[in-house]
Structure formats: structure tokens, C-alpha cells
Amino acid sequence: MDAKKFLSQLIDIPGVSGYEEKVSKAIKEAFELYCDEVHCDAFYNVYGKKVGNSENSGPKIMLAAHLDEIGLMVKDIDDKGFISFTNIGGVDQRILLSQEVYVHGKKRLFGVIGAKPPHLQNRDQINKAVSMEEMVIDVGLSSEKVKELISIGDFITFNSPLTQLKGGNVCGKSIDDRAGVVMLYETMKELDKLVYSGEIYFVATAQEEVGTRGAIISTYKVNPDIGIAIDVTHGDTPDASKDETHAMDKGPAIAMGPNMHPKLTQKLMDVAQENGIDHLVEVAPGLTGTDARSMQVSREGVPTLLIELPLRYMHTTVETLNMDNVKKAAKLTALFIASLKEGWEECLTY
């Protein structure tokens, strides 16, 4: 399966933080094509293991990309069947009004998010953004039928399939970080072309959007010598600071800062340079807000790297990504793994 088709399939599968069972199962099935061992844990983390094809000893490396997505949750159902809701993860409430959604109750119900139209608002209301508390989901059914099919606490996902744009870009929901999971999948393929040593763990982590919880659990379990987090960063966007955004067509970004191991980061950039792989550098002076922050401090500490895919309109239903960067990031990661030969431990010392 090619990268774009896999991404399209993944973003159509519901997987809000804490409710990732279906997407976890789909990822497990995909990983089984290229891994020696695959399993899931009780938190829906997916672990794929590849054993190196070289006789040399090598490191235990863990790659992590999160499989969960932001979403909503049913908070109440009124006597007319309108559903009030709250958010799971960092949903930008400014984009909610008029979105199409699916409510996942006893059966999946299509609905739309609505609010009082401007014609019925007073002057003060017209000049203010509609808050989440003022919005409702309308599934078109009576209160009795809604309550029969939907319960308080059911989760809600957005209806926004993958769409092709010009210039190699695609857009849709939950590309953060299903694109990272696809990058893991592509890295597996790239490794099959190379000679490498050690044990490589590909982990699709759960509940990143609510506190990198899957990374905490899985890194403790794997206990790797080296951790590599794969996530997204901000692509260039109108009116956004150039210091905080990255070009969409110049390759993945390699993060530098205290969350990342400096010598490993330099080696990763050297590998990119030696192989002519486009890449950018992101300055990250504090916590990165990714799985890297939890990987780094697991057990007695894990030397960690962070590779990021530039993404526009993060945490909306039109997240936009250049697919070429997924391939470039996968190739870079595989070549980096293959570069860790005899004496790789020197990369971890100061």
C-alpha cells in the first residue's frame, strides 16, 4: 500500500484519545506486513519490531508516532434531541460551527454543529465568536430516539476525508499525527533495502493529545537505547511568524534543543547532508509538546531525537501536509538507523 492510500485509510478510522481501538487494530494489521513481531497493549499502543539483518551488535531503537486524534464528547442531550458537547484534546473551537461530525453511540450517527443564526442574535452577540457552550450537534432525530442511540460520554469525530490539493499537498483531519504513523510504515519499507543492526521498535502511541500518555507507557516497556519521536510542526502560514513556521516543500524538520540529544541530532543532520536529503532545523528551547518529552525522561533517561513534518492549520479539519516530506523523513530515518554500526555507543557520550 502506498503512503497516500494508507494515510487516507487511517484518517477515516475513528481514534479520539482514549478510544483508539479501531485505528490501533488497523495499524497493527499494516505493521504485520513489514515487522517480525507486532502486538498491542491494553492502552491501544501498537508495537512493531524489526530485527537487524547484520551480525554486528546494534542499539535498541524506538520510533514513536501517535495514533490518536483530537475530538469531542457528548455532554448532554436536551428535550428536543440537541446534543451539547465538550472537547477531547486541543480542539480549536473557532472552527467548530457548521462542521460535519459523527457521533459514535450504539450506532454511528451523522450530525452537524449549529448555533443560533446571526438573524436571531442581538447586536452584542453578532460581534462575538460563538463559544462551544452555545453550539449543539443536530442529528435530525427526536430526543427519545437520540437518547436511545447515544449516551453521555460517547465520543465524536469530524467528517473530513483526505483531499488532494495542488503541489503534492493533501488536507484532512487527524493528519496530526496519522502522517507520522505512515512515516513509520514507510521507514519499515526503506529498512528492507538496507543493512542494519540491532532491534528497531515502531510504536504507534495512544493518548498523545491529552498528555503523551502512550509514550510514557511504551517507552518504559521497550526501554530503548535511542528514542526517535515523529510528529508535526507548523508549516508556513499567512501572517504567522517565519521564526515559528517551516516551508512545506523543503523536507522534514530536525528539532534541536534540551529535549533532544545533541550528538545524535548532529549525526542525524550529517546523514541528511551526506545523502542529499532536504531537511530543515527547528529551534526548540523547551519542552516540545511531543512524545519526545516523555521518551527522554523514561526510566533512567533515553537519548532522544525529534523529526517533524511541516503541517498547516494544525488541530483543524483541514490540516495540510506535503506527502513528499513523509517519504523524505522515512528515508532519512532508515539511513540514520543503518549508519549506527560498530561503536555506535560513542554517539551517546559527551
User: Helix 3-11 to helix 21-31 angle, to the nearest 10 degrees?
Assistant: 160
For residue 113, give the C-alpha cell: 454543529
Question: Which of 14, 136, 157 lies closest to 76 in space, CA to CA?
Answer: 136
Residues 6+ apart with CB under 8 A from 163: 170, 171, 172
Q: How far is CA 187 from the centre of its chain?
A: 16
Residue 208 DSSP symbol: G
Q: DSSP readout, 248-313?
A: TTS-PEEEESTTS-HHHHHHHHHHHHHTT---EEEE--S--SSHHHHHHTSTT---EEEEEEEEES
Name the residues annotated as catalytic.
Answer: 208
Separation between Cα atoms, residue 118 and residue 280, nearest integer Å: 45
Separation between Cα atoms, residue 164 and residue 169, nearest integer Å: 6
Separation between Cα atoms, residue 188 and residue 204, nearest integer Å: 13
Lookup result for grid cell 528539532: 255
Question: Which of 156, 175, 176 lies closest to 291 in space, CA to CA?
Answer: 176
Question: What DSSP element (H or E) covers 235?
Answer: none
